[in-house]
Chains A and B, each alone.
Chain A
Amino acid sequence: MTAMLEVTDLVVAYGKIQAVKGITFSVEEGQVVCLIGTNGAGKTTTLRTISGLLRPESGSITFEGERIDKVPAHKIVTLGLAHSPEGRRIFPRMTVEENLRLGAFSRTENTQKEDLEAAYELFPILAERRSQPAGTFSGGEQQMLAMGRAMMSRPRLLLLDEPSMGLSPLMMKKIMSTVRTLRSQGTTILLVEQNAQAALSLADHGYVLEVGKIVLHGTGKELLTSDEVRKAYLGEA
């Protein structure tokens, strides 16, 4: 039985500088898996390579048994893999609803109406603001929009990059509880976070990245209690 997503010996470089130096990990269907690590550890680079925005130097990426490391980004989303990028990257001069509709761009079946309803149910505040330009939103609202937009393509695997970045503790809680909701609704999630505490406490499995390499992995619980993680990422002496 192979995992839903398998990343094997992945190397990604910007010019001559390797940002990801041969990492191997997998995501089982139905799980929340997180990658944690400091700035520059290669987390975002890994996600951008999985979704096809970057090309790996070597190694392979397999999604549901199919190699996707040479598939262009706009086709990967049609396979059932959506990416909510770092910094939200919503389309600022479009309304909430236009942003969400673009999320469904890859859909061939016309399920947009019910998918919009589902997104609004997940984040009721988006429904209230459906015709406002998204650029005027707070960070938390933009994060909800970015996640709602990613869900519009009905992904089986959601890549979620730094959803808690710059959010208030309250908003962060809301986002993390949404991650739980999405998992319970059957979406597998690969989560990248700098906030190790929040990410590990809901992850089934976690990997710790340091300068492009995986230095540690285990279940969320194991990592939360491991000495190395506590010292390096949870700010304990």
Chain B
Amino acid sequence: MNDIPQQLVNGLTNGSLYALIAVGYTVVYGIVQLINFAHGEVFMIGAFGALSTWFLLFRDNTSVWVLPVMIAGAIAASVATAVIMERIAYRPLRHAPRLAPLITAIGISVFLQEFVRLFYGTIPGFPSAKSKIPFPAIDGVTGSPFHLGSVVIQRPALFTMGALLVCGLFLGWFINKTKQGRAMQAVSQDPDTARLMGIDVDRIIVIAFALGAALAAIAGVAQGLQNNNIDFKMGFMAGLKAFTAAVLGGIGNIQGAVVGGLTLGVAEALATVFVTGAWKDVFAFGLLILVLVFRPQGLLGARVVDRA
């Protein structure tokens, strides 16, 4: 039992990662009522974007100033992927029955995984992505952990939690204080009336996809730093967990995604303490089923991008 504090730290770390990805599910759902099951792959492509930036520009350099450039590369790769996927796969299906875009999303997810697996290694100078690829250990952000009494805090864990804090503050500012953010709230409440106000709904949808992708990209970098490696299927389980987190918090609700992510992470960690680590996924998805049965609107409720 005395490892509870340690497990709480681990839980909050994983939870922060889930939360960063869950925001993407929730923002897009709030605007177009679509569960973008390819969002996990957007996260994976963020990690590959960061790695590719490092290969292209830095190679053996692991100085800390390299990291912001890698994050920028990750965001560029993820945002481009998400925006292109919206344009060519989802927009033509905007008025189709709900099942069509859902199945399309699963198709894109499989496509992106296989594309990275088969294509990445064929780029000159890049390693094959058919198995795990080592992720660079950036100075200062990885390395010897901090000790707080008996609790060990890994450096990448601090990066992940810090990233969630910064992204959360940014989102709150964006949604509530900027013109595009308020337009986004309007579209999520009533798209037709939003158009009557002069809001270009297509543009807001693109912004929603891009915003979610940027946060997923940062999560991709965080995951790479935590695990020291990345692979083409890393988005599958992370995506499912983040989707669970979004539903747990109330799909469409940004605050809910953050609360849901952290709750899920901590619940998994506690399951590790009281049962066994091997059962943590059972607990995570068991929690999803319980929420869907007893509180389908989620912990915070509402399907609206209202108030980050």
Chain A interfacial positions (CB closer than 8 Å to B): 51-53, 72-75, 77-78, 82-83, 85, 89-94, 98, 101-103, 105-106, 149, 153
Contacts and interface: CB of A to CB of B under 8 A. Distances in A.
Contact of B195 (A52, A90, A92): A52
Interface string B197-220: 111110000000000000000000
B183 interface: yes
B147 interface: no
B198 A106 contact: yes
B196 A82 contact: yes
Given A101-B182, A102-B182, A77 B198 contact: yes
A119 to B, nearest CB: 14
Contacts of B182: 98, 101-102
Instruction: Name the residue in A91, A92, A94 with the highest tally of chain B Cβ atoms < 10 Å from its Cβ.
Output: A91
Most A Cβ at <10 Å: residue of B185, B195, B198, B200: B198
7 contacts: A72-B200, A73-B196, A74-B197, A77-B198, A90-B193, A91-B190, A153-B197
Interface centre among B183, B195, B199, B304 (most CB of A within 10 A): B195
Given A98-B182, A101-B182, A102-B182, A89 B192 contact: yes
Interface string B70-107: 00000000000000000000000000000000000000
Contacts of B272: none
A73 B201 CA distance: 10
Given A91-B186, A94-B185, A105 B179 contact: yes
Interface of B: 179, 182-183, 185-186, 189-190, 192-201, 304, 306
A218 B138 CA distance: 79
B195 A102 contact: no
A130 to B, nearest CB: 16
Nearest to A51: B196
A82 B197 CA distance: 8
A105 B198 contact: yes
Contacts of B306: 93
Nearest to B185: A94
B199 A105 contact: yes
Contacts of A91: 185-186, 189-190, 193
Nearest to B196: A83
A74 B198 contact: yes
A53 B194 CA distance: 11
